[in-house]
Amino acid sequence: MVLDLPFLWAAIIAFAVLAYVILDGFDLGVGILFPLFKQKHDRDVMMNSVAPVWDGNETWLVLGGGGLMAVFPLAYATILPALYMPLILMLLGLIFRGVAFEYRWRTKRGEFLWDIAFAGGSMVAAFMQGVALGALVQGIPVTGRAYAGGWWDWLTPFSVATGIALLIGYGLLGATWLVMKTTGELAARARRYALRAGIGTLAAMGVFSLWTPFLEPLYFERWFGWPTIVFSLLVPLLVLGCFAMLIQGLRTEHDSRPFIAALGLFVLGFAGIGISFYPYIVPASLTIWEAAAPEESLAFLIVGAVVLVPMILGYTAYAYWVFRGKVDPEEGYH
């Protein structure tokens, strides 16, 4: 049996992207919710809830982006020119919020500036990730194995709507994370915001489920053709199940159930995107096998992945285990 290395690498990169979305999604969500909490003590607790793990979450972004360049260079060379602006703005947002984690605790007079940097950087990064996703889903024009579009092709009503939807979704992850990690009035307010964000996320998933199939004939065929229509019928039921779990967890004041339900919504949404794309890595333009590097390069790189990915999983799991439980409001990470 011959190992299909392009498919294996596509699965690894897809896993890295999913890990980044669900892990960095909740700490971006905490930043998105930051302006809604005016008290300094609440903001300190919110930042302390993610301070031990936020930088490790970024590792998956590096693995996904670096892996795309090394393993699918043609896709990288096609996607990047199409998405330079949203990706650059995303990285700037991540830089500002990353610096804010350290500098906010070093000053009293300028603390409000770093609060703005943390919240603003989180919102910009989340919104631009959604815009980039929307631009990729709506299609990237390719001619002669190169990007054939213009500088502003990424900016469309669909991509903007996707950016707004991801802001809401990350807000849900952030709110449910705070429910799980905090206590008292802070947790109670987070439950109220989680309920609103959960309704918004469910509505957004419904809107894009109706919108996306009509963007590209490939999507329509995938969603309504046989046998993938079974998935199209099953996923809405699973989404409603996760939403019911979210509502039940919030009403019973369960700590972890709302967060698990929110993760379920994201995993289902990600699976839907994967089903729509496969076997394309650039929708309707480049398949996984067309964009892949030579087999020898893939085989060489898989050796590193076999070592590196378990290491990342190991230290990520260890970090979450060490910092498990509620955040002590009277103590700080810094």
Burial of 42 (0-12, 13-18, 19+ CB in 10 A): buried
Q: What contacts 80, CB < 8 A, 6 or more positions away?
A: 87
For 287, the 3-state DSSP assignment is: strand
Strand partners, 146: 143
β-pairing, 146-147 with 142-143? antiparallel
Residue with tokens 């996707």: 162
Q: Which residue type sits at 300?
A: F
d(CA 82, CA 135): 8
Q: What share of the chain is helix, strand, coil (3-state, %, to 5)?
A: 80, 5, 20
Q: What is the DSSP letter of 17?
A: H
| Tokens read off for 146 | 């190169």
* pLDDT at position 332: 60
Contact, 29 vs 170, CB < 8 A? yes
Residue with tokens 């979704």: 169
Q: What contacts 208, CB < 8 A, 6 or more positions away?
A: 161, 162, 165
Contact, 211 vs 240, CB < 8 A? no
> Residues in the chain, how many?
334
* pLDDT at position 61: 87
* pLDDT at position 176: 96
* pLDDT at position 288: 92
Terminal-residue alpha carbon distance, the chain:
53
* pLDDT at position 107: 78
d(CA 214, CA 36): 37
| Tokens read off for 197 | 């964000």
* pLDDT at position 331: 67
* pLDDT at position 216: 83
DSSP 152-188: TTT-SHHHHHHHHHHHHHHHHHHHHHHHHH--HHHHH
Q: What contacts 22, CB < 8 A, 6 or more positions away?
A: 173, 263, 266, 267
Spans in the chain with pLDDT lower than 50: none
Nearest to 130 by CA among 158, 153, 103: 158
d(CA 175, CA 272): 24
Residue with tokens 């993760």: 263
Nearest to 244 by CA among 226, 260, 267, 220: 260
d(CA 292, CA 299): 12
